[in-house]
Chain A
Amino acid sequence: MKLTVCIGSSCHLKGSRQIVEQFQKLISENHLEDKVELVGTFCLGSCQTGVSVKIDETLFSVAPEDTKAFFEREVLPRL
């Protein structure tokens, strides 16, 4: 699975760094390094609803404080 986090200007200001850090932590805690590839991207064009996060080609909007819930709700079931 490819997990893409937008690090463009808008999303950066809305906290993409915290999300990236939490994802990195969650991935290593769950030993998913082989299954989930975490990548960054510049603007995905959905800045108003950022932070934009993509699971493969599906776009989601995640707030930094919801990262863990999002990971459990959307990422884990898809593996």
Chain B
Amino acid sequence: MNNLCADIGYNSLNKYGEELCGDHVEIIEQGENSMVIVLADGLGSGVKASILSTLTSKIISTMMAADMSIEECVSTIAQTLPVCSVRQVAYSTFTIIRIVGGIEAEIIQYDNPKVIFLRDGENIDYPSEALDIAGKRILKSKVYIKEGDILVALSDGVPHAGIGVTLNLGWKMENIIEYIKTFCHVGFTAKTLTTMLLDECYGLYGGKPGDDTTVCTVKIRRREPMNLVIGPPSNPADCNKMMSLFFSKEGKHIVCGGTTSNIAAEYLHKPLKTKLEYIDKDIPPIAEIEGVDLTTEGVITINRVLAYAQDYLKDNESYREWSSKRDGASLIARMLFEEATDINFFVGMAVNPAHQNPNLPINFSIKMRLVDQLAECLKKMGKKIKVSYF
């Protein structure tokens, strides 16, 4: 047990013309800092492959999470998978990465491209032992992990990228590793590294992927707590209680909302300095309070953060927007999506009389829904979320 955790980001490109992806990634958490990640690539493409890979990854992850042996998992799959009527085989390749106690990673691979393991920006060639289970040759490795380590699992669509289009023999593993090495030290999240790799594959395929292409990046990082307060408490007498709980938490502090920032400034006995810079014309400027890491307006800013979060979970296209801008929403997005691993939300339930005006597109229920939806998105990003209401 230590304070390391895994930041996981995965995504897929579908084979050109296919609606379903034949690759599937499944993650099961086992308590604080242990988890099982499975990337399966089903035989063929389309619906058949999708069923095979979904079944494979679900079965393996569930069984591994229940501490069953790899032998049992593989034989279960061999006996369960539906047999393809054309090819007379039931087949799905897979990669398993199992993080145990934030200390070691067990890597089990069957016929997928070898998992890339980077430490301090260098490729590590880890040893593996070959097992023969139900006639399948399975490679098993165990590596100790430390902060900053990056593991990248791929489906064969990645090394096949560009075959016959831009590259004669596809994207060689050594070149893929070189490509990742140029970015890995910058501090990008697992999701962003994944997006960059897939973008490159998409380009190599000339926009028409010849195979389902999946990348799953696992980045070992330190836990980073973050706290965000939005809205004054429903009972004004609870202001101090709410603020003292908020500021006693470890990690950075974000204050959202005009009235809320006034309460925070009062609690800290520090002046609230509002800026007048409109970096994004639709997002109100940010403010400064000594002792608070970021102070912003409330609903409008959070609404934008939510839009960024929803996009991050889809194709991550707005990354270009929020990754460098200095407006309130981009700053919150970077702190919550990239920096934080554990986020505490302090939500005040006071009804702002000004927001009850029917001409305004904001009201109390919208604010509550915004926070709920944002918390939901952040959970999907693999963050630990706690929401307290006041």
Q: For chain B residues 348-390, which have a beta carbon within 8 Å of chain A?
A: 352-355, 357, 360-362
Q: How far is the CB of B280 from chain A (nearest CB, A)?
A: 10
Interface segment, one of B156-164, B296-304, B336-344? B296-304
Whether A9 lies near B276 (C-beta < 8 A) is no
Count of residues in A whose CB is under 8 Å from the partner chain: 22
Answer yes or no: B284 CB below 8 A from chain A CBs.
Answer: yes
Answer yes or no: B76 CB below 8 A from chain A CBs.
Answer: no
Task: Identify which of A7, A9, A20, A21 contacts B362 (C-beta below 8 A).
Answer: A9
Whether B281 lies near A17 (C-beta < 8 A) is yes
Identify the interface centre among B261, B275, B287, B354: most chain A CB within 10 Å of its CB.
B354
Question: Given the complex, which residues of B lie within 8 Å of A17, measured CB to CB?
Answer: 278, 281, 284
Q: A47-B354, A48-B354, A48-B357 are in contact. Are A9 and B274 (CB under 8 A)?
A: no
Whether A9 lies near B284 (C-beta < 8 A) is yes
Q: A7-B297, A9-B300, A47-B355 are in contact. Are A42 and B261 (CB under 8 A)?
A: yes
Could you tell me the distance between the alpha carbons of A16 and B285 in the complex, rounded to whole angstroms? 11
Identify the interface centre among B276, B353, B360: most chain A CB within 10 Å of its CB.
B276
Could you tell me the distance between the alpha carbons of A41 and B354 in the complex, rounded to whole angstroms? 16
Question: Given the complex, which residues of B lie within 8 Å of A39, measured CB to CB?
Answer: 274, 276
Whether A42 lies near B276 (C-beta < 8 A) is no
Q: For chain B residues 259-299, which have a beta carbon within 8 Å of chain A?
A: 259, 261-262, 272, 274-276, 278, 281, 284-285, 287, 297-299
Task: Identify which of A5, A20, A40, A42 contacts B262 (C-beta below 8 A).
Answer: A42
Could you tell me the distance between the alpha carbons of A45 and B262 in the complex, rounded to whole angstroms? 11
Count of residues in B whose CB is under 8 Å from the partner chain: 26
Could you tell me the distance between the alpha carbons of A12 and B285 in the complex, rounded to whole angstroms? 10
Q: How far is the CB of A15 from chain B (nearest CB, A)?
A: 11
Could you tell me the distance between the alpha carbons of A43 and B362 in the complex, rounded to whole angstroms? 15
Could you tell me the distance between the alpha carbons of A50 and B274 in the complex, rounded to whole angstroms? 18
Question: Given the complex, which residues of B lie within 8 Å of A10, measured CB to CB?
Answer: 354-355, 357, 360, 362
Whether A41 lies near B360 (C-beta < 8 A) is no
Q: For chain B residues 232-268, which have a beta carbon within 8 Å of chain A?
A: 257-259, 261-262
Question: Given the complex, which residues of A lie within 8 Å of B258, measured CB to CB?
Answer: 8-9, 42-43
Whether A20 lies near B298 (C-beta < 8 A) is no
Question: Given the complex, which residues of B lie within 8 Å of A41, measured CB to CB?
Answer: 272, 274
Whether B262 lies near A9 (C-beta < 8 A) is no
Task: Identify which of A7, A21, A24, A45 contacts B285 (C-beta below 8 A).
Answer: A7
Whether A38 lies near B355 (C-beta < 8 A) is no
Whether B278 lies near A9 (C-beta < 8 A) is no
Could you tell me the distance between the alpha carbons of A45 and B281 in the complex, rounded to whole angstroms? 23
Answer yes or no: A13 CB below 8 A from chain B CBs.
Answer: yes
CB closest chain-A residue, reference B274: A40
Whether B262 lies near A8 (C-beta < 8 A) is no
Question: Given the complex, which residues of A lie within 8 Å of B362, measured CB to CB?
Answer: 9-10, 13
Question: Given the complex, which residues of A lie within 8 Å of B361, measured CB to CB?
Answer: 13
Whether B276 lies near A8 (C-beta < 8 A) is no
Q: How far is the CB of B371 from chain A (nearest CB, A)?
A: 15
Q: A38-B276, A39-B276, A42-B272 are in contact. Are A12 and B355 (CB under 8 A)?
A: no
Could you tell me the distance between the alpha carbons of A29 and B259 in the complex, rounded to whole angstroms? 34
Task: Identify which of A5, A24, A42 contacts B259 (C-beta below 8 A).
Answer: A42
Question: Given the complex, which residues of A lie within 8 Å of B300, measured CB to CB?
Answer: 9, 12-13
CB closest chain-B residue, reference A23: B276
Could you tell me the distance between the alpha carbons of A16 and B284 in the complex, rounded to whole angstroms? 9
Could you tell me the distance between the alpha carbons of A50 and B362 in the complex, rounded to whole angstroms? 15
Question: Given the complex, which residues of B lie within 8 Å of A43, measured CB to CB?
Answer: 258-259, 262, 354
Question: Given the complex, which residues of B lie within 8 Å of A48, measured CB to CB?
Answer: 353-354, 357
Q: List 10 A-B contacts (CB under 8 A).
A: A7-B276, A8-B354, A9-B299, A17-B278, A20-B276, A40-B285, A42-B297, A43-B258, A47-B354, A48-B353
Known: A12-B284, A42-B297, A43-B354. 15 other contacts (CB 8 A): A7-B285, A8-B258, A9-B257, A9-B297, A9-B300, A9-B354, A9-B355, A9-B362, A10-B354, A13-B361, A39-B276, A42-B262, A42-B287, A48-B357, A50-B354
6 A-B pairs closest in CB distance:
A47-B354, A42-B258, A43-B258, A40-B274, A8-B258, A12-B284
B contacts, CB < 8 Å to A? 257-259, 261-262, 272, 274-276, 278, 281, 284-285, 287, 297-300, 352-355, 357, 360-362
